[in-house]
Structure 1
Amino acid sequence: MNDFTSVGERIKLIRRQNKLTQIEFAQSLEISQGTLSEIESGKAKPSFDVLAILAVKYMVNMNWLIINQKAELHIGLQNDELKLLENYRNLEDIAKEELLDYSNLKLLRYQRRDDSLK
């Protein structure tokens, strides 16, 4: 991950990992596609507000994002959690809904089991 030397390159990496167009990604960051293009190409620097939105929405480690500090790209997620997230993002919308329904049912089942053991 630390091969991406500029903030713009790291932002581009995040966009590509999330399989978003520049327009989609820019909208999620509340900036224009032109501004995003300039940031990714190194012609402009992102504002702190943009970096903060990106860090929260995409669960990105701010130290890695800003200064390329040797840190994990994503904060607080284990490898299996990242894999689940990646798999989820690759699903069609209907499959995402089904998966969420299934996970909610499993969670309820485990909560009920825990409640009965008390």
Structure 2
Amino acid sequence: MNSITSVGEKIKSIRRQNKMTQIEFAQSLEISQATLSEIESGKTKPSFDVLVLLADKYMVDMNWLIINRKVELHFGLQEDELKLLQNYRNLQDIAQEELLDYSMLKLQRYQRNK
């Protein structure tokens, strides 16, 4: 599992997790795409106002966002759990619903057979 340390890397990761382009994400943060690109690449730092807006809109912990140390992005997830989450996020909506239904059936069977 990769550790993400810089604010720019963390912001880029948040954008990718939300399946947004730089333009879409920049608009949501009320900044230009060029500014976002510079932030993600580490050429510039985001303003405090941008950090607050990002933390609020995307429910990100400000401490995690601004502290420059190695912190795992996916707190407490084991590698298999992370793979499942990544696969789920890459599915279309209907396939996500089918996967959730399937997982509920598997859980019910497991609980019955306990």
Same-fold status (TM-score > 0.5) = yes
Over the residues paired in the alignment, what is the CA RMSD in angstroms?
3.2
Aligned residue number for residue 50 of structure 1? 54
Secondary structure (helix, strand or coil) at the match of 2:71 reads coil
Matched residues in 1 for 2:8 and 2:67: separation? 11
Q: Which runs of 5+ in 1 are unaligned?
A: none
- Aligned pairs for 1:12-27 (under 5 A) are 12-22=12-22, 25=25
Q: 2:55 is aligned with what amino acid? A: L
SS at match of 1:103: helix
Q: Which residue pairs with 2:92 in the alignment?
A: 92
TM-aligned CA deviation for residue 105 of structure 1: 0.8
Q: How many residues align?
A: 106
**Structure 1 70/3 Cα, relative in aligned 2: closer, same or farther at 3 Å?**
closer
Whole-angstrom distance in 2 between the partners of 1:26 and 1:107: 40
Q: So what's the TM-score if we normalise by structure 1?
A: 0.63
Distance in 2, matches of 1:61 and 1:80, equals 27
- Describe the superposition over 1:24-74 as per-residue Cα deviations: whole angstroms up to 9, x where unpaired: 5468xx643x26764553353233453255355xxx7953x3213222121
- Contact persistence 1:2–1:70 (CA under 8 A): yes
2: CA distance between counterparts of 1:92 and 1:104? Answer: 19
Identity of aligned residues (%): 55
Given residue 85 of structure 1, which amino acid in structure 2 is its aligned partner? L
> Which residues in structure 2 correspond to 1:102-113 (within 5 Å)?
102-113=102-113
1:74 aligns with 74
Gaps of at least 5 residues in structure 2 are none
Q: Which has the higher contact order (CA 8 A, sep 6+)?
A: 2
